[in-house]
Chains A and B, each alone.
Chain A
Amino acid sequence: MADLHGSAMTCGEVAELASGFVLGSLEPAETARVREHLASCPEPHPELAELGAVVPALARSVPVVEPPSSLGPRILAAARADLAGVEAERAETAAAAAAEAVLHPAPIPAPTPAPLPRARRRPAVLVELFRRPAWGLTAVAAVVAIAVLGAWNLQLRAQVADLAAYRDGVVAVLDAASSSGGQLALLKDTTGTGPSGLAAVDPAGRLVIAMHDLAPTTGNQVYEAWLIGADGKPLPAGSFVVPGSGTGTLTSSVGSTEAGIVVALTREPGPGATAPTLPIVVEGHAQPASG
């Protein structure tokens, strides 16, 4: 056998290791070197398909054991948690992008396509043996690619709409805050990693809020804004609903407000709440924005 770390394997060495490779039974270093060889070798390696062909059948030889009925739901729940993690990350990126877009509008970057695997030559003998039309594979690949692109396109359009909604909200908030005597508050949850957004109160007594990453409302639920002054008494300041995108905006008239007021959001079972239902989702101190 050639040295373990240095020069590349020869086709002959790969052929010698083929049975161990297809059964996943090589030492890790050997597996890596076989992969390395296959990645760069222009020659077909029919021995791999020849020996590997029956490996899927091995998996089907095992006695059937029914999984517990809880396993399916458990997997779906885990996938949902996984998705929530991914979306939180994406929303964070989207929020950053939205903030950026307010100042520097820029075209949406092209997506990074999923890495396409290297096409490997199908061993001629097998093609002939099975006479499988090559266009079949291409057609399937195309169908999957179109479906994936279609789904991605829908997703992107939804994301762009979400981004635009949040951006418009942020612009409205900044407009309100930038008028003379306007106040601006950064709304965050206690962890600083959950939903966030901006609120402004302008001198005319208009409250403007733009939020992202909020849990969507269902049924009659609303998010209620509260203004908490020096006396510590929360006053309801308007409510709004949040769609699946997690973006929510509010413009309401609250009358004149003192400086340093606290803006808070709670989730309420329905509109018209007179006292906040804890916990507070996000809050922030309004500060004079001029300067």
Chain B
Amino acid sequence: MTQLDDHVGAARLADPGDPDLAAIARLAGGELEALEGLYGRYGTMAYSIAVRITGDPGSAEDVVQEAFLGAWRNAARYVPGRGSVRTWLLAIVHHRAIDSLRRRRATTELPDEDQGSASPLGLVLPDVWDEVAATLDRETIQRALAAIPVRQREAIELAYFSGLTQVEIAERLDLPLGTVKSRMRLGLLALRRELGPGDRDG
């Protein structure tokens, strides 16, 4: 992979002509037409994630609508250094989808404060990783997921796609909580190794 070497991602991110950054700036200025471009670029991806998580086209539509409205209302709170617009937007979609799922299950609800924060996780994600994720195709990511130990993948998927908390996963799988935590952690590290720059940092 050459993404890191030629800094394609970084160059794109720092480009003031970046249509995503321009769209966010316009949205923050109250120009809702900018939403159209964002939806054109990420609507399908957003919907795909929402369908995968909610398992229901109707809920998925609601989730995507809520997420884009959330982005429109909170555009001024987007911070470039915390990850790309795409990652920000898709994280909002993920959050809304899990929220919808949990509401339906009537269990744990996510705190609402997350909705507009720059990164719903509130972390500094390394941008280059962000860009690597963007340039990897779906098959590569699926292959990497398939390559990690099945129990670790299961823990990650139950958390990320089924919206279960670690405690709920432990109950469902009848495992000690500590085992669930360590499977998640090892799984994420394994996925990172599979996906890229981790083994080429010399």
Contacts and interface: CB of A to CB of B under 8 A. Distances in A.
A117 B188 contact: no
Contacts of B128: 130, 132
Interface stretch (A149-157, A168-176, A232-240, A261-269): A149-157
Could you say which interface size class chain B belongs to? 35 or more
Interface residues of A, number: 74
A85 to B, nearest CB: 11
- SS class of chain A's interface: helix, strand, loop or mixed? helix
B51 A65 contact: yes
Interface in A51-102: 51-68, 71-72, 74-76, 78-80, 82-83
A82 B72 CA distance: 10
Contact of A49 (B79, B90, B124, B161): B124
B122 A122 contact: no
B35 A76 contact: yes
A123 B160 CA distance: 25
A67 to B, nearest CB: 4
Interface string A110-147: 00001111001011001001101100110111011001
Given A26-B166, A79-B68, A144-B28, 10 more contacts: A20-B165, A24-B159, A28-B110, A35-B122, A63-B52, A68-B61, A80-B32, A116-B79, A143-B16, A148-B25
Interface of B: 4, 7, 10, 13-14, 16, 21-22, 24-26, 28-32, 35-36, 39-40, 43-49, 51-52, 57, 60-61, 64-65, 68-69, 72-73, 76-83, 87, 90-91, 93-95, 98, 108-111, 117-118, 120-130, 132-134, 136, 138, 141-142, 144-145, 156, 159-161, 163-167, 169, 181, 184-185, 188-189, 191-192, 195, 197, 201
6 closest A-B pairs by beta carbon, nearest first, are A151-B29, A147-B25, A25-B159, A67-B47, A114-B76, A19-B185
